[in-house]
Structure 1
Amino acid sequence: MITTKCRLYPNKQQTEKLDFALDICRQAYNIMLGELKDQAVIDRNMIQAILPDLKICESRFREVYSKTLQYECYKLFSNLSALSALKKQGRKVGQLKFQGKKFFTTMTYNQSGFELEHT
């Protein structure tokens, strides 16, 4: 599998669609983080099981690819394990914080559901 990183120059309609998807990913991340803070025992499967419920309750979550939302769960637990590793090294660490629009600027589209056109 080849991974390519490229700069995109989307038009206005594509920009709006990407901004919408980014905002939905941010909301999903923050909801999962809130649920994580409420748990006594950290369980990744329980947190990831929230995603289908979100899609049922909120129709806007259905408009973003499932793998993209699942990757937000992966990112949340990667951030958590990085904090844990730093703490084990003796560093002083805080806790994960909710992300605002200004600080949440990346999302991952892996596998399928999109296509790049060379123009």
Structure 2
Amino acid sequence: MGPWSSSCASPPRSPITTAAAPRARPPHAGWPLAPAPVTDPDMPRGTLAQRVAEAEAPWRAMAEAGEITLIDSWPRFCDAGACHALHDSEGWYFDNNHITNTAARALRDLFVPIFGTKVAGL
């Protein structure tokens, strides 16, 4: 394997679909009789795993074949039953698919094997 043969599995997508994710809001949000937005910072791990299974299948197959090293960030976002958008009362997503700088700093040690401690700021 060459020096760039590692890959990072995508963090789980957040279930948040409210003001924190304005692009996800339906056009009628805020209108009288519009349904209340859903704000649940937790989602069952199995539901999210099912959602990404097809997209991650090629990466997982290459990792199992020893062609790449897969960096798995899911253990930082999820426990055995659910994945969480909030950690220690801090938001780790600014919409349903992009992590905040707070989350990126919390995950930076995962990249030490690729970039070293100087680049990761550790």
The answer to whether the superposition gives a TM-score over 0.5 is no
Give TM class, smaller chain.
0.3 to 0.5
Q: From the two aligned structures, give the one with the greater strand fraction.
A: 2
TM normalised by structure 2 equals 0.38
Give the TM-score taking structure 1 as reference length: 0.39
Q: Which has the higher helix share?
A: 1
Q: Which of these two proteins has the greater Rg computed from alpha carbons?
A: 2
